[in-house]
Homo-oligomer: A and B are copies of this chain.
Amino acid sequence: MFMRVDKLQAELPPPKRQDPNAAAALQELLGGKYGEMSTLGNYMFQSFNFRSKEKLRPFYSLVASITAEELGHVELVSNGVAMLNNGPDVPDADAGDGGDISKSPFEAMKDIRSFASFASGAGGALPVNSNSMSWNVDMVTTTGNVVFDLLHNFHLECGARLHKLRVYETLSDPTGREVCGYLLVRGSVHAHSYALALKQITGVALEKFLPVPNIPLDKIPECQKYLDEGSHRRLYTWSPADYKEIAGIWGNGEQALPTDPPGELTVVDGMPEGGKIHQLVGVPSAFTPDYAPEEMFEIATKLYKKSR
């Protein structure tokens, strides 16, 4: 079972300007083959399909708990995409009747790369890559062979890191860069953890491969605050009470990667504090939430009061 907390894993700075093509680029990290829908889909189905869960508890718990973190990554990138698609929030822009819709208020959308992200998705995020291709089952590997699935996951996290770097190198807006910076640190943790799990089984020191690609996180300004707070040495259980067995893999004196700030790896029960979710103010002229929405706001306020 899963629970939800109304926060983001990292607080995102507001976008400087509306930039649908930047949002579309960021979609590569959401619905691309090496995006967060893929890490989520792989670990989620691997954890459902895991065999001999009791006998292999630490390995099962590793895949199961990271699944929950990936859900939050999907949420984080989605928020970033929506923010870049819409630009800075204008408070109360969601009130009023939207003006004269016959004056082509969205003419600027005509030339963006992913028109359907506006016309159908209303500037939100979708499980597609930067070329608008759908995420799909071909991006999921779940063979039930623990060694192979972990090797696949190790490769997947390295590939994800490569894609995050390239998107980072493309974006200049702080919202998108923050998404990349945060995910680079956490993706590195996941790659590291799969390497350590495989080392336990095979004896091969796979963590010596890292980092792949070969760029230390200290070259990325947006990574620094996460490194400073030691995020790169921490795995969360993402659970009120379960999955603590991951400490058998992530811990036991294992250390941070040599290119990162030094220290021992530790497991933290539960989840990080997180940051505020962006408001994403509605646009009446695009019928979000709807044209002339004040009546809806009033109804919602009434219902809200009833619920307290």
Q: A227: CB under 8 A from chain B?
A: no
* Cβ 8 A contact of A306, one of B54, B209, B214, B252: B252
A165 shortest CB reach to chain B, Å: 7
CB contacts (< 8 Å) of A201 on chain B: these are: 296, 299
Given the complex, which residues of B lie within 8 Å of A24, measured CB to CB? 115
Q: A31 — which chain B residues lie within 8 A by C-beta?
A: 137
- Chain B residues lying within 8 Å of A109, measured Cβ to Cβ, are 25, 170
Interface digits, A136-178 against B, CB 8 Å rule (1 contact, 0 not)?
1111111111111001101100110011011111111000000
Instruction: Indicate if the CB atoms of B116 and A165 lie closer than 8 Å.
Output: no
Which residues of chain B are within 8 angstroms of A117 by Cβ–Cβ distance? Answer: 131
**Contact A306/B148 with A135-B136, A169-B101, A204-B204 known, Cβ cut-off 8 Å:** no
Asked if A226 is at the interface of the complex by the 8 Å CB criterion, the answer is: no
Bound-state Cα–Cα, A222 to B290, Å:
21
Given contacts A21-B111, A155-B151, A238-B4, contact A78 B45 (CB under 8 A): yes
B-side contacts of A246, CB under 8 Å: 307
Asked if A57 meets B133 with Cβ closer than 8 Å, knowing A120-B28, A127-B140, the reply is no
Q: Is A187 an interface position by the 8 A CB rule?
A: no
Q: Which residues of B contact A127 (CB under 8 A)?
A: 41, 45, 136-137, 140
Q: A147-B212, A148-B159, A220-B102 are in contact. Are A54 and B279 (CB under 8 A)?
A: yes
Which of A48, A57, A113, A238 has the most chain B CB atoms closer than 10 A to its own CB? A48
Cross-chain contact A101 with B219 (CB below 8 angstroms): yes
Select A121's contact among B1, B49, B198, B242, beta carbons within 8 Å.
Answer: B49
Asked if residues A110 and B21 are in contact (CB atoms below 8 Å), the reply is yes
B134 touches A137 (CB 8 A): yes
Q: How many residues of A contact B (CB 8 A)?
A: 173
- Contact in complex: B202, A289 (CB < 8 Å): no
Check B68 against A280 for contact (C-beta < 8 Å).
no
Are B134 and A148 closer than 8 Å at their CB atoms? no
**With the chains together, A291 CA to B143 CA distance in Å?**
13
Contact call A4/B5, Cβ cutoff below 8 A: no
* B56:A213 contact, CB within 8 angstroms: no
The reply to whether A146 and B296 form a contact with Cβ atoms under 8 Å apart is yes
Residue of B nearest to A82 (CB): B49
A244 CB to nearest B CB, Å: 6
Kindly identify which residue among B7, B34, B146 contacts A1, using a CB–CB cutoff of 8 Å: B7
Assuming the A-B contacts A132-B131, A147-B212, A155-B152, are A163 and B120 also in contact, with contact meaning beta carbons closer than 8 angstroms in the complex? yes
A251 contact set on B, CB distance < 8 A: 306-307
B-facing mask of A220-239, CB < 8 A → 1, else 0?
A: 11100000000000000011
A256 at the interface (CB under 8 A from B): no
Query: Cα distance A148–B71 when bound, in Å?
Result: 25
Chain B proximity mask over A99-134: 1 for CB below 8 Å, otherwise 0: 011101111011101111111111111111111111
